Structure 1
């Protein structure tokens, strides 16, 4: 699969998330407080809740239902009750177009305890 245009960069609000679905894969597209664009799985791993309805703070997206915050960079939950990460997708910006390939996820190194 190749990258799919999901929206224009100008459609994304800073510190907000937008839900998109590519071939049945729900993805939260987020412009963080630095203006960087991220794409993570849109379903909270604690419950079947859309993360794009949550709150963006810095480089995290917090689930509105139970408060688990996920790193937009790694997909890892930063607090309970979620303990499983969400996928993180590569984002390509071409002009004003935001493109995502749901078949390409970023590799995340495991936590070392």
Structure 2
């Protein structure tokens, strides 16, 4: 699989998650306050809740339902009740296009 265009930079607003689906994989895309674009799995690992309906603060995305915050860089939950990470996807910016390959996840230590 190759990276696919999911949005343009103009579709993103700072600290506002956007839900996209690539080949059936739900992904939350976030433009953070530093201007970095992140892509993480859109489903909270604590419950079947869309993270793109949540809140961005710094480099975290918080699930609106139970308050688990996930690192946008690593996918790791930073507090309970979630204890399993969400996948983090490589993002490529090509001009104004935002591309993601859902088959390629970042390995973050």
Question: Is TM > 0.5 for Structure 1 vs Structure 2?
Answer: yes
Alignment of 1:62-77 (within 5 A): 62-77=62-77
TM-score, normalised with respect to structure 1 = 0.95
CA distance in 1, matches of 2:36, 2:58: 10
In the TM superposition, residue 29 of structure 1 has moved relative to its aligned partner by: 0.4
Q: Deviations over 1:18-69 (max 9, x none)?
A: 0000111000000011111000000000000000000001100000000000
Between the two proteins, the alignment pairs up a number of residues equal to 109
Unaligned 5+ runs, structure 2: none
Q: How does 1:33-112 map to 2 (within 5 A)?
A: 33-109=33-109
Q: Normalised by the size of structure 2, how large is the TM-score? A: 0.99
* Structure 1, gaps ≥5 residues long: none
> Is residue 18 from structure 1 mapped to residue 14 from structure 2 by the alignment?
no
Structure 1 residue 102: Cα displacement:
0.3
Q: Deviations over 1:52-106 (max 9, x none)?
A: 0000011000000000000000000000000000000000000000000000000
Q: Shift in Å at residue 108 of structure 1? A: 2.5
Q: Distance in 2 between matches of 1:39 and 1:24?
A: 15
Where has structure 1 moved over 6 Å in runs of 4 or more? none
